[in-house]
A = this chain, B = another copy of it.
Amino acid sequence: MTNNTINLSPSDLAFVPFVSVDNMMRNVRSVGVETFMRGLAGYIEEDFLRWESFDKKPRIPAHAPEGVVELMPTSDGKTFGFKYVNGHPGNMREGLQTVTGFGVLSDLATGYPVLFTEMTILTALRTAANSALAAKYLAPEGSTTMAVIGNGAQSDFQCLAFKDMLGITEIRAYDIDHGASIRLARNLASSGLNVTICKTPEDAIEGAEIITTVTADKRYATILTDNMVGSGVHINAIGGDCPGKTELHKDILLRSDIFVEFPEQTRIEGELQQLDADHPVTELWQVYAGNAEGRTGKDQITLFDSVGFAIEDFAALRYVHDMLPQTGHFEKLDLLADPDDPRDLYGMVLRSGANGDNQAA
């Protein structure tokens, strides 16, 4: 902004568009949850198709006994994005979210952020969109029934994304906490999905072409054992997503064709941590690009070992950034110092008091 008059108010250069939780919900509602996720899937696919143009790094973690905080940066050379995300399984006991997040998108030509947004809701949406996108390439054609094992915060979004993008009509829900399944069924009551609450995991996977596992315990668990999984299904494994946390018995993995986002990260964090470091896997972007095969036969078990990768968040940030001019659901955050003379940062501090406003904001 060229401005030759002395102006003690922050200029437009100082402001970064900010999407609060409240505004994220407005943005989602403005197009609808399912359309929003379909839009996200489109941006994710677009970015996976230019996989090689991204700077890819494993996430950067800070560990504590209670959980982990991670930064997930990536860049395509023109735009930089990162997500801050935590994983604290015990948080629910305190009335806090297990996973919260926020993210930033920046213009690499100037280094200035162009979007700061909540990503707790956005991550839930992009995770489901990403699962459904992978399933479009991997699930049996004409799938109508999905088992959902683990009925926590992520499960609703999975159901809705698979309904919209795969044509799923029947949900078979199981959780060790029956109340969680009731909550899920209630939220989906007017979605058009038929939800059957099941008493056992075995019951849940009965007749399902797609099995989604999305439990939250931070430990090695065996949600699915080998004899439970028949041929021809697609397993959408969301819950095994950090070291020491898996959901599937190793023998299922050995019978499956395994598809992953970024092998370097999945071998550390995913179900894959149970297998040898050189166990063959297929990168999803290669499938999307037509360089590798997805589902090849009726009896094949396909497994998406999902851990969540930075490029998915980058795509989600892009999607939200691009929709804001239409929806207007954002605020302007006074985040960047913008002195009249860029060399005169101290002068800005010095003269800011000239308003005489030395009181609390």
Give residues in A with beta carbon < 8 Å to B: 1-2, 10, 13-14, 18, 20-23, 25-26, 28-30, 33, 55, 57, 60, 62, 64, 66-69, 71, 73, 75, 77-78, 80, 82, 84, 86-88, 91-92, 94-98, 100, 102, 104, 106, 108-113, 118, 120-121, 124, 152-154, 156-157, 160, 180, 183, 187, 327-331, 333-339, 341-350, 352-353, 357-358, 360-361
Contact = CB atoms under 8 A, between A and B. Distances in A.
Nearest to A122: B337
A353 to B, nearest CB: 5
A104 to B, nearest CB: 7
Copies of this chain, count: 2
Contact of A334 (B14, B20, B95, B109): B20
A358 B20 contact: no
A345 B92 CA distance: 12
B329 A360 contact: yes
Nearest to A349: B25
B97 A338 contact: yes
Contacts of A108: 62, 64, 66-67, 69
A327 B360 contact: yes
A118 B336 contact: yes
A347 B153 CA distance: 9
B344 A153 contact: yes
Given A22-B361, A94-B110, A183-B341, A349 B10 contact: no
A197 B75 CA distance: 43
Contacts of A102: 113, 335
Contacts of A153: 342-346
A110 B29 contact: no
A21 B361 contact: no
Given A108-B64, A361-B330, A152 B343 contact: yes
Contacts of A57: 60
Given A26-B358, A64-B77, A352-B25, A343 B92 contact: yes
A153 to B, nearest CB: 4
A102 B73 CA distance: 15
Contact of A183 (B60, B330, B344): B344
Most buried by B among A14, A29, A84, A349: A349
A102 to B, nearest CB: 6
A73 B71 contact: yes
Contacts of A25: 348-349, 352-353
24 contacts: A26-B357, A29-B353, A29-B358, A62-B73, A64-B108, A71-B73, A84-B104, A86-B106, A86-B112, A87-B111, A88-B109, A91-B110, A96-B110, A98-B342, A100-B112, A121-B349, A152-B343, A153-B342, A153-B345, A156-B346, A156-B347, A183-B347, A329-B361, A330-B361
